[in-house]
Copies of this chain bind each other. A is one copy, B any other.
Amino acid sequence: MALDMGMHDEAADADPLSASDQGNLARLERVGAGTAITGEIFGLVGKSQFFTEFSREDISALAGYMEVYRAQPGELIIREADAGDFMVLIVEGEIDILKKSHRGEQQHMTSAGPGMTLGEMSMIDGEPRFATCMASQPTTFAVLTRDNMAKIILDHPSLGSKILVKMVTMLSLRLRQTSARLLRYMEEPR
């Protein structure tokens, strides 16, 4: 299910942690509400592209829609091909992004650290998870579900737009980087 603007009112009371790939989260240590780590999120502001142009008020409001989890090295956060309905903001630690090759081997694509986001593609477009995300260090991260993103857009439209603009910015950056890598392969003599 993709993010379907303005049709989420009746889902507003649904348990945000009952659906689809949130089963992976259910196996991890739940630290608490995002508001419990508003301080840590403020601490990320300087390091994170995600939060440039966010005011203190924006971050406090956003934290109110997030839940915080902790994963130990080797623990799975997102599994490739699962249905996906949340994104992750890394607060501390490191997460490996892995994808199965045609031969079934896990290929390491890249790693992500504090201030980076993961999983926003499936969170917005409702397509299956493209890659697996696994903690490579003790990692603390905040989770934003699709239902809560829809609530932010309805309840705080200006904050919602800021978050969406950031997602476009971060996806653009990744698409430029990935396209540049692809072009280098395409140019190499075979």
Contacts and interface: CB of A to CB of B under 8 A. Distances in A.
Interface of A: 2-6, 53, 99, 101-103, 107, 109, 120-122, 124-125, 127, 130, 153, 157-158, 160-162, 164-165, 167-169, 171-176, 178-179, 181-188, 190
Given A6-B158, A102-B187, A107-B183, A165 B165 contact: no
Contacts of A167: 164, 168
5 contacts: A5-B165, A103-B187, A121-B175, A153-B161, A171-B172
Given A6-B158, A164-B165, A125 B183 contact: no
Contacts of A125: 168-169, 172-173
Nearest to A182: B182
A120 B168 CA distance: 9
Contacts of A164: 161, 164-165, 167-168
A158 B169 CA distance: 20
Copies in the complex: 2
Contact of A185 (B121, B153, B175, B185): B185
Nearest to A5: B162
B124 A165 contact: yes
A168 B5 CA distance: 13
B161 A158 contact: no
Nearest to A159: B5
B121 A172 contact: yes
